[in-house]
A and B are shown apart, each in its own frame.
Chain A
Amino acid sequence: MAADGGMTKILRDIWLKRAILWHFVSAELTSSYRTKSLGFLWALLDPLLFMGVYYLVFGRLIAQREPSFMLHLFVGVISFRFLNTAMGQSAGILRGQAGLIREIAFPRASLPVAVVLARLFDFAAGCLVAVPLALAFGVSVTRYWLLIPALMVVHTLFVIGISLVVAYVGVFFADIANILNVVQRLWFYMSPVLYPLSLIREKAVGSGHPALYDVYRANPMVGILGTFEATMMRGHLPGRDAVLYAVGWGLAMFLVGLWAFSRVEKHVAKYL
């Protein structure tokens, strides 16, 4: 079987059996929200509440930055929550569903993909909350905000890709979750969320090693967050290079994820 055959087969199988994918997505959302008294309202309340905390800490206590910084912080945090929860859940999803995997032949990749889509629901709810937040912080909501769904698609492709890789590794190594915790924390602090990107540029230039800035920007999340930043905070289209960089990472990660998963999909049941 050609390497490519396995990758397109994964997508085709998920699509042909999309009823199974939707089943997993709705089961995932149900278990996240149904047990709570406010149900799906939590998808909106949760980002509002943690934004309240960040507002107190970063808006009042530490530094009085420009109002758009609070929106920058918000978008960064929900983007990372999407990435981190999807990766974290994907790490154990195949082991967790071992009983089912050994019983019934359904497309295995639909498990991690469903996890990502359920967390995409949270992320989309967060993006909705961003609208009133922007108004509250005095950031104008321009027509470029209509591009946000497209930016979310790019980010989702990236998250699906990385979650497939994590799910693949998780089949063989039960302790992946512990390593992920450290990696995710480092990744978060190495990305412009708690501080603006301009801070890194100033420091790099100031230190006499402007190349460090380029190294920092190699981080795919810098590119992906940059597209949100330009659209939402700066009120203009992201530059062509920024778009190409973000889309490139999204597609590349998606393909790497498919490739990794295609190597193990046939044999997952044996290793669980």
Chain B
Amino acid sequence: MPSTSEQPAAGAATAAVTGADQAAIALEQVWLRFSLRYYRKRLTLRGTVLEGLSAALRRQGRQQVQDFWALRGVDLSVKKGEVVGIVGPNGAGKSTLLRVIAGIYGADRGKVQVRGSVATLLSFGAGFDPRLPGRENVYKNGVLLGLSRAQVDGRIEAIVEMSGLGDFMDAPVNTYSSGMRARLGFSVAVYANPDILLIDEVVAAGDERFRNRVGTIFDQFSHQRKTVVFVTHQVAQLSQYCTRGIWLEEGRVHMDGAPGEVGAAYVEASRAGR
């Protein structure tokens, strides 16, 4: 097992890294693999036993397992107070990278250090239970993101206000549009008051007014020395929201710099059809 730590760095480790008091996220040569064997088909015990038997009969080794490396040596250090926007083509590893930072995926190689509490909003569904009303889902996600029920009690009015869902809070989530789900998921994540907020492409589903609100919230996070990392396909959002841009390509950091420059270079390359 590669040495990986999702825990806040211990005292000794902190001293070893210079300027670590600033780093909210530090990734060193992070690799992550998906074994395609698990995705080819629904894996069953029967299938595995039969496969093993037939391989043994043919006196061959086990079928060559095909791996797909979604991340191939990502180095990334994010300071407190930064708002980082990630762009890149489909399959570049953007969502995977967010999940590694969140601790949802453990890295197969390399080192992951994340300091502080994390809240995630990784899909329009936000992990909501579609049969339950919005209000109950707020409690569920609030608790899962680290709040107590009492804390959710204290914040639910603000969450409802921010999401603009009003009367819909008592309707089941499967009656919501994707924009409404995104707004509710975003509001819960923000009011979980994390040190690090990780968001995947969800903001795009909101309307213009909501997107402006997102910009204000990101600014507030930044001023409070909190960190935001979010994935977007709308390059304009890089300059609009971010203090830093990352261009991910084939599981590696292709470009890292000012949001305007990274966005321009990425658009240029996409037009050139690389």
Contacts and interface: CB of A to CB of B under 8 A. Distances in A.
Interface of A: 1, 17, 19-20, 23, 27, 99-106, 172-176, 179, 266-267, 269-271
Nearest to A175: B44
Contacts of A104: 102, 104, 120, 127, 141, 144-145
Given A1-B4, A20-B143, A99 B44 contact: no
A102 B143 contact: no
Contacts of A27: 140
Contact of A19 (B4, B45, B104, B149): B149
Nearest to A103: B127
Nearest to A271: B38
Given A269-B104, A270-B34, A103 B123 contact: yes
A104 B38 CA distance: 21
Nearest to B2: A1
8 contacts: A19-B146, A20-B143, A20-B144, A23-B149, A102-B104, A103-B126, A173-B45, A174-B42
Given A172-B38, A176-B45, 12 more contacts: A17-B146, A20-B143, A20-B144, A99-B125, A100-B127, A102-B104, A103-B127, A104-B104, A174-B42, A174-B44, A266-B4, A269-B105
A173 B48 CA distance: 9
Contacts of B3: 1
Contacts, number: 73
A7 to B, nearest CB: 13
A179 B45 CA distance: 9
B118 interface: yes
A269 B46 contact: no
A121 B201 CA distance: 42
Contact of B125 (A19, A103, A105): A103
The 4 nearest A-B residue pairs measured at CB: A266-B106, A103-B127, A105-B103, A173-B45
B96 to A, nearest CB: 9
Interface in B147-163: 147-149
Contacts of A176: 45
B43 A174 contact: yes
Contacts of B106: 266-267
Contacts of A19: 143, 146-149
A237 B146 CA distance: 44
B211 interface: no
B198 to A, nearest CB: 10
A88 to B, nearest CB: 16
B104 A101 contact: yes
A153 B126 CA distance: 36
Given A19-B143, A20-B143, A23-B143, A103 B120 contact: yes
A100 B99 CA distance: 13
Contacts of A269: 99, 104-105
Contacts of A267: 105-106
A231 B48 CA distance: 45
B122 interface: yes
B204 to A, nearest CB: 18
A95 to B, nearest CB: 10
Nearest to A16: B146
A240 B44 CA distance: 43
Interface string B131-144: 00000000011011
